[in-house]
Amino acid sequence: MTTPLRFHRRFLDSLPGDADARSVSRQVHGALWSRVMPTAVASPRMLAWSRSLAVELGIEARMESQDAATVLGGNATWDGMEPYAANYGGHQFGNWAGQLGDGRAITLGELEGPDGRVHELQLKGAGPTPYSRRADGRAVLRSSIREFLCSEAMHALGVPTTRALSLIATGDAVVRDMFYNGNAKAEPGAIVCRVAPSFLRFGNFELPSSRGDHALLQQLTDFAIAQFFPQLGAPSRSVYEALMHEVAVRTARLIAQWQAVGFVHGVMNTDNMSLLGLTIDYGPYGWVDNFDFGWTPNTTDAQHKRYAFGNQPGVGMWNVARLCDALLPLIGDDERSGESALSAYESAYADEARAQFSKKLGIRIGDDAGDGELVQRLFAWLQKHGVDMAIFFRSLAQVLRMDELRELPSCVRAAFYGEPAKDAVEDGLSWLRQWRMRARSEASDVELAVTSLDRANPTFVLRNWLAQEAIDAASAGDASKIHRLQRVLQRPYDEQSGEDDLAQKRPDWAKDKPGCSALSCSS
């Protein structure tokens, strides 16, 4: 016997739902959600699940039962689940796209965990909803593996993110034209159950605002404040301003953390921006191998590079501006509040980036020009020579420990793709010497400094080629690489014996292979 689950109905009870019960694609007005059941799949099978998350949710025992794959594959519900899809809009690649909504995400319910916290459980790929437009509401195995692994890896790195409870193979085929070149083919389908305190996005606010439905906008905003930002107080004009400020700051901090770990989201549309400042909607994301601010993993963005690594901080701010625009009707259209939220974004970003890179370099980076120059010189060098980001930063602890630096240490050489050029060696050595002197002078104890550098610079990140290897194996019926990555990425900052091959730079075969260097949005 498993204990009964406690589901809440915050969203359903506090916010207006869609009166129309049909699940056909359509525009939904005056409502923030629509009831919709997952569509049953052929033979749901659990490929992987997160024990640590299941424990947080208090459902570890249930996850061990056969029942779990049935429910998390969308073929049944646990008592208290009342599935619905949320209605939202968004700016895609800079343009207002109108209503989007959960086209293939279905929330099963809001589950209270043993510690009293409430978590939204949502299936991604569970079949069509009123928001599916012309698409099928399904997800393929490759993108589901990527979302499952990366959500949990991000959490282990300490970066705010939605979580992933389970990865289910559906047994159904899903047809996708992966390269958008007229070669559609059947691929295995899958469903991820993702979990967050809330999946509210900037786009949930933009849609009613764009339609001039200010009453609905206010209802949603008041709900969000009461549920997720109660510390701001009872809704009022100044509290709406405080909300803009708070979301701006959380978003800025999140993106500074992405920059520090080398994560490129790939599709920072406003429908993919979490109100809570979580990483959300893992699609054609990528991890920086060779350092390159101009890199985007998303083939759809290859030309304009709107969402390239170096553009993320600016795009985050642009997105916050869209949220502020959406909330303006609640504060008498006073644009100064939006401007003040954007300056809060800028300073929060600068502070968080400074804090992150202070930890990564083991020095206290201050405002003075010399500090800025030290960091900028490093970025310029990494960029010019395409040095592997994770390996380089991880090598710093070893460099700090060395007695002297006569030549470029082998642990740093290991971060080069190919033989380093003469200027790469000279400039690298000169930077490392300056940095090392500084880091040593600030360290009260070298061994302690080494440990804290290692706590700030992960050995293991979900490089694209690693995810792709797990995908290739799983597509051939072997899920063991998923499990191995899942296990190793739970402790990204620890050296783990026998796992060195997962900490290597991108191998040559992966340089131009789809899924490793570039990904399409097709998922």
Residues near Mg ion (CB under 5 A), total: 2
φ/ψ (deg, to 5) at 416: -90, 140
**110: its two tokens:** 């809001």
Interface segment toward Mg ion; rule CB under 5 A; list 190-198, 280-288, 412-420, 483-491: 280-288
Least gap, CB of 104 to ligand AMP (angstroms)? 4
Helix (H) or strand (E) holding 312: helix 312-327
Q: By C-beta, is 134 or 336 nearer to ligand AMP?
A: 134
Q: CA–CA separation, 169 vs 71, rounded Å?
A: 13
Least gap, CB of 382 to ligand AMP (angstroms)? 30
Binding partner of 56, given Mg ion, ligand AMP, none, CB within 5-8 angstroms per partner class: none
Q: CA–CA separation, 177 vs 196, rounded Å?
A: 30
Least gap, CB of 357 to ligand AMP (angstroms)? 30
How open is the CA angle 277-136-9, to the nearest 5 degrees? 45
How far from chain centre, in Å, is Cα 269? Answer: 13
Q: CA–CA separation, 302 vs 150, rounded Å?
A: 22
Q: By C-beta, is 73 or 283 nearer to Mg ion?
A: 283
Asked whether 341 and 325 are in contact (CB, 8 A), the reply is no
Q: CA–CA separation, 34 vs 36, rounded Å?
A: 6
Q: By C-beta, is 23 or 270 nearer to Mg ion?
A: 270
Expressed in angstroms, the distance from the first to the final Cα of the chain is 38
H helix runs in 410-490, sequence order = 410-413, 422-442, 446-456, 464-475, 480-488
Interface segment toward ligand AMP; rule CB under 6 A; list 58-66, 266-274, 319-327, 408-416: 266-274
Q: CA–CA separation, 448 vs 161, rounded Å?
A: 29
Q: By C-beta, is 187 or 271 nearer to ligand AMP?
A: 271
Least gap, CB of 215 to ligand AMP (angstroms)? 24
* Neighbouring-strand partners of residue 358: none
Closest residue to Mg ion, judged by C-beta, is: 281
Asked whether 482 and 470 are in contact (CB, 8 A), the reply is yes
Q: CA–CA separation, 3 vs 113, rounded Å?
A: 12
Contacts of 39 (CB under 8 A, 6+ apart): 74, 126, 127, 128, 137
Q: By C-beta, is 270 or 395 nearer to Mg ion?
A: 270
102 part of the interface to Mg ion, by CB under 5 A: no
User: Which of the residues 502 through 521 are near ligand AMP (CB under 6 A)?
Assistant: 521
Least gap, CB of 477 to ligand AMP (angstroms)? 24
Interface segment toward ligand AMP; rule CB under 6 A; list 32-40, 61-69, 127-135, 492-500: 127-135
Which of the residues 18, 172, 271, 388 is marked catalytic?
271
Binding partner of 138, given ligand AMP, Mg ion, none, CB within 5-8 angstroms per partner class: ligand AMP
Binding partner of 104, given ligand AMP, Mg ion, none, CB within 5-8 angstroms per partner class: ligand AMP
**288: its two tokens:** 């920086």
User: Which of the residues 86 through 125 are near ligand AMP (CB under 6 A)?
Assistant: 100-105
Site mask for ligand AMP (CB under 6 A), range 281-320, x = bound:
x-x-------------------------------------
User: Is residue 209 exposed (0-12), middle (13-18) or buried (19+ Cβ within 10 Å)?
Assistant: buried
Residue with tokens 């429910």: 71
Binding partner of 7, given Mg ion, ligand AMP, none, CB within 5-8 angstroms per partner class: none
Least gap, CB of 138 to ligand AMP (angstroms)? 6
Q: By C-beta, is 274 or 337 nearer to ligand AMP?
A: 274
SS3 content of the chain, % helix, strand, coil (to 5): 45, 15, 40
Site mask for ligand AMP (CB under 6 A), range 33-72, x = bound:
----------------------------------------
Q: CA–CA separation, 131 vs 28, rounded Å?
A: 8
User: Which of the residues 392 through 431 are near ligand AMP (CB under 6 A)?
Assistant: none
Q: Is the dihedral of CA 208, 213, 214, 218 positive or negative?
A: negative
Q: CA–CA separation, 495 vs 513, rounded Å?
A: 28
CA-based nearest residue to 278, from 201, 343, 389, 388:
201
Interface segment toward Mg ion; rule CB under 5 A; list 216-224, 279-287, 343-351, 506-514: 279-287
Binding residue for Mg ion, selected from 110, 120, 152, 281, defined by CB under 5 A: 281
Interface segment toward Mg ion; rule CB under 5 A; list 153-161, 192-200, 270-278, 313-321: 270-278
**269: its two tokens:** 């549309």
Residue with tokens 């909803």: 129
Site mask for Mg ion (CB under 5 A), range 443-472, x = bound:
------------------------------
- The Cα diameter of the chain in Å comes to 73
Least gap, CB of 495 to Mg ion (angstroms)? 36
272 part of the interface to Mg ion, by CB under 5 A: yes
Least gap, CB of 269 to Mg ion (angstroms)? 7
Least gap, CB of 272 to Mg ion (angstroms)? 5
271 catalytic, yes or no?
Answer: yes
CA R_g for the chain: 23
Residues near ligand AMP (CB under 6 A), total: 18
Q: By C-beta, is 63 or 207 nearer to Mg ion?
A: 207
Where along the sequence are the contacts to Mg ion (CB under 5 A)?
Answer: 272, 281
Task: Please list the active-site residues.
Answer: 271
Where along the sequence are the contacts to ligand AMP (CB under 6 A)?
Answer: 100-105, 131-132, 135-138, 267, 271-272, 281, 283, 521
